[in-house]
C-alpha cells in the first residue's frame, strides 16, 4: 500500500545519500593518497630547517649573539606556522563534512586547494596565475567539497601540462549577475573529441596506470550538482582545457 511505498522510497533515498557521501569521502582520501609523497616532502623540508635553526641557536645564545638568535626565532616561528597551515589543510580536507549549503568564500577555497596541490606544482615546474579572484565573492555551497573539486581540477591541469615546464595554470573568478564562475585553465593539449563525451563517466581516465582511477571528475560533477551548480569542461579558446564551476551567487 501507499504508506509502505513511501517508507521504502525514503529508505532508498537515504541509502542513495549515504552511498554518495561515502563515494565523496573515498574520493578525498584517494586524492590525499596520490598526493602523499609531495605533502610529505613539503613538511620534511621545513622540519629540517627547524632542526638546523634550533641547533644553531643554542651556541649563539651562549656567545651572546642576540641579533642572530632573534632572526632564528623569527624564522622558526614562520616555519612552524607554515607546517601548521599544511597540516590544518590536510585535516580539513580529509574530514567528513556536513552537506548543507551555506555561503562560501570562493577565494578562501581556492587558496586552500592551491596549498594542497603546491607539491605537484613544484614537481611539474608550473606557474599559477590568479585572475580577478575577489576576496569578497561568496557562493552557495559547501567549502570543503568545493575545495575537493578545485583540487581535482587543479591537479588535472597540472598533470595535463606536466611535460611543459613553465606552463601557466590560471584560476579566474567572475561574478555574473546571480552566479559565480570559477574558471581553471591549463596549457595542456586539450580534450580530444573521442574523450570529450566520456570525461564524466566513472572509471574513465586517460592518465597512466597508477596516476588516477577515473573517479575525480565523476565525483566532482556530483558534488557541484548537489550544490545546485554546474561543472563544464571544454577546450580553451587558444589551447589547453578550461574547467568552469558555476555556483549561485550569495
The whole-model pTM stands at: 0.68
Cell reading at 105: 568564500
Confidence tier at 97 by pLDDT (50, 70, 90):
low
For residues 94-118, average pLDDT? 85
Q: Has residue 212 got a pLDDT over 60?
A: no
Confidence tier at 48 by pLDDT (50, 70, 90):
confident
Q: Grid cell 609531495 — which residue?
A: 38
Return the half-sphere exposure (C-beta side, CA atoms, 13 A cut-off) of residue 46: 17
pLDDT digits 0-9 by tens, 144-203: 889 989 998 999 999 988 889 899 999 999 998 899 999 999 999 998 888 888 787 766
d(CA 67, CA 48): 22
Q: Has residue 10 got a pLDDT over 70?
A: yes
Amino acid at each position: 500500500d501507499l504508506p509502505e511505498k513511501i517508507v521504502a522510497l525514503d529508505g532508498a533515498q537515504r541509502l542513495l545519500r549515504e552511498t554518495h557521501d561515502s563515494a565523496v569521502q573515498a574520493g578525498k582520501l584517494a586524492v590525499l593518497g596520490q598526493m602523499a609523497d609531495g605533502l610529505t616532502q613539503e613538511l620534511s623540508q621545513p622540519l629540517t630547517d627547524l632542526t638546523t635553526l634550533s641547533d644553531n641557536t643554542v651556541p649563539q645564545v651562549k656567545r651572546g649573539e642576540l641579533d642572530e638568535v632573534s632572526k632564528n626565532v623569527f624564522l622558526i616561528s614562520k616555519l612552524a606556522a607554515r607546517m601548521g597551515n599544511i597540516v590544518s589543510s590536510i585535516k580539513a580536507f580529509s574530514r567528513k563534512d556536513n552537506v548543507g549549503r551555506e555561503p562560501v568564500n570562493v577565494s578562501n577555497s581556492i587558496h586552500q586547494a592551491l596549498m594542497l596541490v603546491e607539491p605537484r606544482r613544484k614537481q611539474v615546474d608550473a606557474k599559477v596565475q590568479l585572475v580577478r579572484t575577489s576576496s569578497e565573492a561568496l557562493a552557495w555551497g559547501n567549502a570543503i567539497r568545493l575545495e575537493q573539486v578545485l583540487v581535482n581540477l587543479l591537479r588535472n591541469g597540472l598533470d595535463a601540462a606536466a611535460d611543459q615546464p613553465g606552463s601557466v595554470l590560471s584560476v579566474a573568478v567572475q561574478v555574473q549577475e546571480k552566479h559565480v564562475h570559477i574558471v581553471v585553465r591549463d596549457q595542456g593539449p586539450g580534450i580530444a573529441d573521442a574523450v570529450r563525451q566520456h570525461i564524466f563517466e566513472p572509471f574513465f581516465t586517460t592518465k597512466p596506470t597508477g596516476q588516477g582511477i577515473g573517479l575525480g571528475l565523476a565525483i566532482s560533477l556530483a558534488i557541484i550538482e548537489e550544490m545546485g551548480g554546474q561543472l563544464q569542461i571544454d577546450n580553451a579558446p587558444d589551447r589547453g582545457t578550461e574547467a568552469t564551476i558555476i555556483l549561485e551567487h550569495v
